[in-house]
Chain A
Amino acid sequence: MCKAAKSYVKFIDNISKATGEFAMFLVLGLMGILVYESITRTVFNRPHIWAVEISAFVMTAQYLIGGGYSLILRSHVRMDLFYHRLSERGQAIADVITFFPFTLFYLGLLLFGGIRGIQYALEFHQKSYTAWAPPMAPIKIIMVTGILLMLLQSIAEFIKSIATIRGEEIP
């Protein structure tokens, strides 16, 4: 493999690991906000209009920012009736072929739609239709960042598959 590809994989792997290690703590934030809200609302009768929506933002950030890391962790299910019968090399070949029509295409369109969504949110100062009515641009930017990380990591996985086919090892 050329050096650029190798250093790309290493670089992106590290970024995904770092963002993933961060994202996995977000579930504690989600828990904290909701517990705090349930106590202030039921015991002290002081509900907060932002609590539920902020929690939803935190949760969305978790699975989108953590997406790249989940590819490294191999979290995602496959229909492996045939796939798991292939050799390691055969699986890599299948992965290379199916990368373009499915993964790249889907994540690419997600990214495209997301960027347009950000543009729209900024241009029209889009706000949420809730009593709290926060601006939507920040959460959209967080979401698109996560999608971008997922795309970059899936390209890294693609390069790893090519390396496997060529019988090389990418650390």
Chain B
Amino acid sequence: MNYTLIGVSIFIAMLASLITGRQIFAVIGGVGCAFALALWGKGGSALAFQASFKLLNWYSLMTLPLFVYMGYMFSVSGIADDLYTMFHVWMGPVRGGLALGTIALQAVIAAMNGLSVAGMAIGSAIALPEMLKRKYDKVMITGVIQAGSSLGIMIPPSVVLVLYAMIARQPVGQLWLAGIFPGIMLAILFMIYIVIRCLIQKELGPALSKEERDRYSLKDKFKLLRASLLPILIIFFMSGLFFLGVTSLFESAAVGAAMTTLAALINKRLTWQNFNEVLRETLSVTCMFMWVIMAALAFGSIYDGLGAVHGLEKMFLSHGMAPWEVIAVMGLTYILLGMFLDDTAMLIIVAPLYVPLVIKLGFSPIWYGVLYTITCQIAYLTPPFGYNLFLMRAMAPKEITLADIYKSVWPFVMVMILGMILVMVFPDIALWLPTKYFVK
């Protein structure tokens, strides 16, 4: 039987099996093992364990539990409280200012966290109630918080870029550098959107009243700027030392996690109970990711065995497609697969097939990683696997309905697509920094 046909039928079998609603790790693992047995007989039976054993040598993955822990600890630690007050007081007087401040806050949080969890938790616990109190439009601000926290996976540190780096065999440091400007650009685009909306519809984001503005004297306002000291310290010791080449990737993640814990202790926020809660959530999220990665690796190694990379290359290149068309077709397959798989599983199964092709077509794999991350950001906000959407449902106060949450994300998804197009047309937004500096 011809290999392309086998490859395609494995894929279809997997997608069809996912519809049953069994946990994704079990479906991918089960389908993978079944085909391994069918193709290679007894030799295929050890495949599942071998793939998970391979994970032992992927040291970069150690950043995953550490960043998850750091995210939850960060939302407990109270670091963000003072930071929020700072942005609130400084930006509140402008129309829509609290929403702009929230985006800025989320960008700073993103520079201290590798996932979007912390941003979501802090956004909905601190920023959302304050904005609701001041009569901001609830649909807009629900979108602001979800979109803002999705910056967590773009602005370094970023777990998504670590995963991509491992699969694509590219240096993490380069990818993190590449994420800085696109992340800032997206934050600015979100802000521009908010400013324009608030200019047209004045009732969406009223400026703080005079009375509230006068509560802080100019001296107090400058005092508030001290809130930025601790974040700068954390960013320096974590990402800074990594970019300078002093600490390794996973060491810097551990240092960041330890510093956040210390900050929580100093702020007297850490109780035995919420400490346990942080650890339990960390275990839960880590297991979710790792079991999917383990199964997806087993599944992916079938494609290795079949030599699918060459098959795919032939398929795309023999039809004489232009390089940009290939990139577009790949993007479409993400959307299609995204209906069935979460983005972690998708990355591990699809990226080893696509990245060699991207390189062969003459594109930069670093640039492609940034595009992939924006795709993930969009996936976080949209069903069926929208992590931020799930979190928002769980965390939002009662007056925000499910319909509000779904409605809120669309304008921001449009802005993200615009951002993606900008990165495609001007690759230097992502690539300028990593060509200037080299970090392993």
Contacts and interface: CB of A to CB of B under 8 A. Distances in A.
B286 interface: yes
B251 A34 contact: yes
A91 B253 CA distance: 39
A106 B298 CA distance: 10
B250 A70 contact: no
Nearest to B282: A27
Contact of A75 (B59, B276, B285, B385): B285
B320 interface: no
Contact of B282 (A24, A107, A140): A24
B59 A56 contact: yes
Contacts of B292: 76-77
A42 interface: yes
A132 interface: no
B45 interface: yes
Interface in A140-159: 140, 143
B284 A73 contact: yes
A27 B286 CA distance: 10
Interface string B248-278: 1011111101100100000000000000100
Interface stretch (B60-68, B114-122, B132-140, B197-205): B60-68
Contacts of A23: 283
Given A62-B286, A78-B22, A94-B20, 9 more contacts: A35-B258, A42-B246, A52-B248, A55-B62, A70-B288, A76-B287, A80-B21, A106-B25, A143-B52
Question: From DSSP, what is the main secondary structure of chain A's interface residues?
Answer: helix
B384 interface: yes
Interface string A47-72: 00000100111011011001101100
B49 A76 contact: no
A38 B255 contact: yes
A113 B49 contact: yes
B280 A73 contact: yes
Contacts, number: 198
B333 interface: no
B61 A59 contact: yes
A112 B253 CA distance: 35
A103 B23 contact: yes
B156 to A, nearest CB: 18
B254 A102 contact: no
Interface stretch (B227-235, B310-318, B335-343, B396-404): B335-343
B189 interface: no
B213 to A, nearest CB: 43
26 contacts: A24-B282, A27-B286, A28-B279, A30-B62, A31-B69, A34-B250, A34-B253, A59-B65, A63-B283, A63-B290, A67-B287, A70-B284, A70-B291, A73-B280, A73-B283, A73-B284, A76-B24, A76-B288, A77-B24, A77-B342, A79-B384, A101-B17, A101-B34, A102-B26, A102-B30, A110-B49
B19 interface: yes
Contacts of A143: 52-53
A37 B247 CA distance: 10
Contact of A20 (B23, B253, B283, B385): B283
Candidate in B59, B61, B253, B286 with the most chain A CB atoms within 10 angstroms: B286
Contacts of B287: 63, 66-67, 69-70, 75-76
A113 B18 CA distance: 24
Given A112-B45, A113-B48, A113-B49, A62 B258 contact: no
Candidate in B279, B284, B295 with the most chain A CB atoms within 10 angstroms: B284
Given A20-B283, A63-B286, A63-B290, A35 B47 contact: no
A170 to B, nearest CB: 20
Contacts of B340: 79
Given A34-B62, A75-B285, A94 B21 contact: yes
Contacts of A122: none
A73 to B, nearest CB: 5
For the complex of A and B, list the 3 residue pairs with the smallest distance between their C-beta atoms, beginning with the closest.
Answer: A83-B21, A113-B49, A34-B254
Interface string A78-96: 1111111010000100110
Contacts of B252: 38
Nearest to B261: A31
Candidate in A20, A76, A116, A139 with the most chain B CB atoms within 10 angstroms: A76
